[in-house]
Amino acid sequence: MAIEGVLIDVDGVLVTAWRTLPGAAEALRELRRREIPFLLATNATSHSREGLSAKLRQTGLDVEPDRVVTAPVLTASYLRSNHPRARCYLLGEPELGDEFADIWLVREQAGVVVVAGADPAFTWENLSRAFRMLKEGAALVAMHRNLSWMTEAGLMLDAGAFLAGLEQAAGVEAVVTGKPSPQFFRQCVELLNLSPERVAMVGDDLEADVLAAQKVGLTGVLVRTGKFDPGTVDRSDEKPNHVIDSIADLPEVLG
Ligand SMILES: [Mg+2]
């Protein structure tokens, strides 16, 4: 079936450590030339959609803010629907822009613990604070479950590793709003106004980007850049629909 829309992960696919990967700008230009709608679908919590768009522009990638879907955007929307007016404790210090403007953030007696991407605010004290709130009955919502990401200094441990500890210690299970949650992909596909069978997801994370998207019916495209690890693919029972060297090869996959 022909691909009529594309979701593209940002970190490890378009940029690594905020440097544009070769062929990324050309691939986006080619999508525009063929009038294939695309969205950047990212678990990044370090930037608002405006901020991410501006940051990408500095690296030579021109993507409008309304083409950016971040985990915080979908998290705020989830909180509004499922925990309206709840007191929320945010673990992490993401750049939220306007996305969280109407979410009530507190540091005590929260009804919901919201876990963002890992950053220096993931201290033992803050993790223990979150743990105590969970023991007292707070709901647990996580923006994603990523275990690591690649930086100039090497791989960094991400929120998923801390989340697993919180879940085990408190005996609760998190609702995940970003990738690999099926809801994340469904919402993106809805924004494109296409059926999942007509949409491809391009990412460097086998589990969270590619296989998770395939489970929802999208075509999965794994790139051999960013955190790509050939061993992970070999060990996995499920395989990506496509594996390409980099985003530069995306136009070929689209035919
Ligand atoms: Mg990535």
Residues 82 and 99 in one domain: yes
Residues 193 and 153 in one domain: no
CATH number of the domain that residue 85 is part of: 3.40.50.1000
Ligand 1 centroid – CA 87 distance (Å): 31
Ligand 1 centroid – CA 128 distance (Å): 29
Looking at 176, 201, 226, the residue that finishes a domain is 176
- Domains held by the chain: number: 2
Q: What is the pLDDT of residues 191-223, one digit of tens each?
A: 999 999 999 999 999 999 999 999 999 999 999
According to the model, what pLDDT value does residue 184 have? 94
Ligand 1 centroid – CA 132 distance (Å): 32
Residues 95 and 166 in one domain: yes
Assess contact for 224 and 12: CB atoms under 8 A.
Answer: no
Ligand 1 centroid – CA 198 distance (Å): 22
Q: Is residue 60 part of a domain?
A: no
Q: Which of 2, 4, 14, 1 is nearest to 202 (CA)?
A: 14
- 100 secondary structure, DSSP code: T
Ligand 1 centroid – CA 40 distance (Å): 11
Ligand 1 centroid – CA 77 distance (Å): 22
Q: What is the pLDDT of residues 163-174, one digit of tens each?
A: 999 999 999 999
Residues 150 and 202 in one domain: no
Q: Which of 28, 15, 12, 10 is nearest to 248 (CA)?
A: 28
Q: Which of 2, 12, 4 is nearest to 148 (CA)?
A: 12
Read off the pLDDT of each residue in 120-132 and give the average, rounded to a whole number. 98
Tokens of 76: 């705020």
Q: What is the pLDDT of residues 48-76, one digit of tens each?
A: 999 999 999 999 999 999 999 999 999 99
Q: Is residue 210 part of a domain?
A: yes
Ligand 1 centroid – CA 43 distance (Å): 8
- Look-up of token digits 């296989």: 211
Ligand 1 centroid – CA 150 distance (Å): 9
Q: Is residue 250 part of a domain?
A: yes
Count how many residues are written for the chain: 255
Measured distance CA(246)–CA(77) in Å, rounded: 32
For CA atoms 69, 75, 76, 79, the dihedral sign is positive
Q: Which of 199, 209, 204 is nearest to 71 (CA)?
A: 209
Residues 26 and 110 in one domain: no
Residues 91 and 186 in one domain: no
Concatenating the DSSP letter of every residue in 189-218 gives HHHHTS-GGGEEEEES-IIIIIIHHHHTTP
